[in-house]
Amino acid sequence: MPILGQNQYGKAETRVVKITRDGATHHVKDLNVSVSLSGDMDEVHYSGSNASVLPTDTTKNTVYAFAKEHGIESAEQFGIHLARHFVTSQESIHRARVRVEEYAWDRIEHAGEGAHSFARRGQEVRLAQITYDGEAWEVVSGLKDLVVMNSTDSEFWGYVKDKYTTLPEAYDRVLATEVSARWRFRWTGDGQQAPDWEESYARTRQHILRAFAETYSLSLQQTLYRMGARVIDHRGEIDEIRFSLPNKHHFLVDLKPFGLKNDNEVYFAADRPYGLIEATVLRDGCEARIPVDLTNL
């Protein structure tokens, strides 16, 4: 006899922009919110009874209403407000997972009165996932699409070679990647003081970038570890960080046919295929919980 397994439902990718007007100065929060709910939902699958189902349209409306009622202090705090509401207000809902993408805007300074002009900041996206089951919280933050490059201080040599190896050893190469990272907080509620989410994100991002810039790299794996280790060493609120780093290869162009010498100056930026380096860095004694496949987080 078939039985129902794990299931959830909700409203995905609700786009909400909250403008806070502080006199003539405005502040913008631009989010993409996905809500997933699970609990006592057997009957809607077996018989079609909707008696325990909160409509997904209601979850969408709740996102908009909470943007007004609670404001958006941070992606994490907004997700916490939503997850708590769904679990505590509906008897049939036992677990809520809220995923948030945040798109950053930089203020454009201008001569007129007020500060209300903005430009979208690059392609980097801030991420948060909040999970609540009525007792414990799990908060995972992160970022994606952060493209970084070192134009020197990177080597790659001494690797295994077989009859199919054609890659020449490199003692001065370009190292570039598009950082996708998730980090899990040790905070689980239960009377603990929550981190300052905005400060934590800014500092964690800064440590990732500093480690990338300051590591003389012999491999992208080494750089990844240094990035994660620096975060664990400097951010006591974080127990685990996972990276997925595609190696954005830059190959020297052969200029000899044109009678020119290429002294590490002209490169071909290849978009595919690419090496993909992934790993988790943990605080000693902590258990890994972030999924290996970051696309599922």
pLDDT tens digit sequence for 68-106: 999 999 999 999 999 999 999 999 999 999 999 999 998
Q: Among residues 98, 116, 135, which one ends one of the domains? A: 135
- Kindly state whether residues 236 and 112 are assigned to the same domain: no
| 26-71 per-position pLDDT tens digit | 999 999 999 999 999 999 999 999 999 999 999 999 999 999 999 9
Q: How confident is the model at residue 153 (pLDDT cuts 50, 70, 90)?
A: very high
Query: What span, in angstroms and rounded, lies between the C-alpha atoms of 150 and 45?
Result: 53
Q: Among residues 88, 116, 135, which one ends one of the domains? A: 135
249 tagged catalytic? yes
- Kindly state whether residues 49 and 177 are assigned to the same domain: no
| 267-282 per-position pLDDT tens digit | 999 989 999 999 999 9
Give how many domains the chain has, as a whole number: 2
Predicted pLDDT of residue 190: 83
- Kindly state whether residues 210 and 193 are assigned to the same domain: yes
- Kindly state whether residues 253 and 117 are assigned to the same domain: no
Q: Among residues 108, 135, 162, which one ends one of the domains? A: 135
Taking every pair of Cα atoms in the chain, the longest distance, rounded to a whole number of angstroms, is 78
26 tagged catalytic? no
Predicted pLDDT of residue 112: 58
Question: How remote is the C-alpha of 197 from its chain's centroid?
Answer: 14
Catalytic annotation, pick one of 11, 29, 248, 250: 11
- Kindly state whether residues 112 and 165 are assigned to the same domain: no
Predicted pLDDT of residue 118: 86
- For the chain, give the mean pLDDT: 94
Answering whether pTM is above 0.95, one says: no
11 tagged catalytic? yes
- Kindly state whether residues 123 and 146 are assigned to the same domain: no
Q: Quick one: tokens of 75?
A: 């992606």
Predicted pLDDT of residue 144: 97
Catalytic annotation, pick one of 27, 56, 131, 234: 56
- Kindly state whether residues 114 and 151 are assigned to the same domain: no
Residue 36 sits in a domain whose CATH number is 3.10.270.10
- Kindly state whether residues 125 and 264 are assigned to the same domain: no
Catalytic annotation, pick one of 144, 207, 249, 250: 249
Count of residues for the chain?
297
- Kindly state whether residues 188 and 83 are assigned to the same domain: no
- Kindly state whether residues 124 and 169 are assigned to the same domain: no
- Kindly state whether residues 292 and 253 are assigned to the same domain: yes
Sign of CA dihedral 288, 290, 293, 294: negative
Domain residues for the domain of 171 are: 142-297
- Kindly state whether residues 254 and 156 are assigned to the same domain: yes
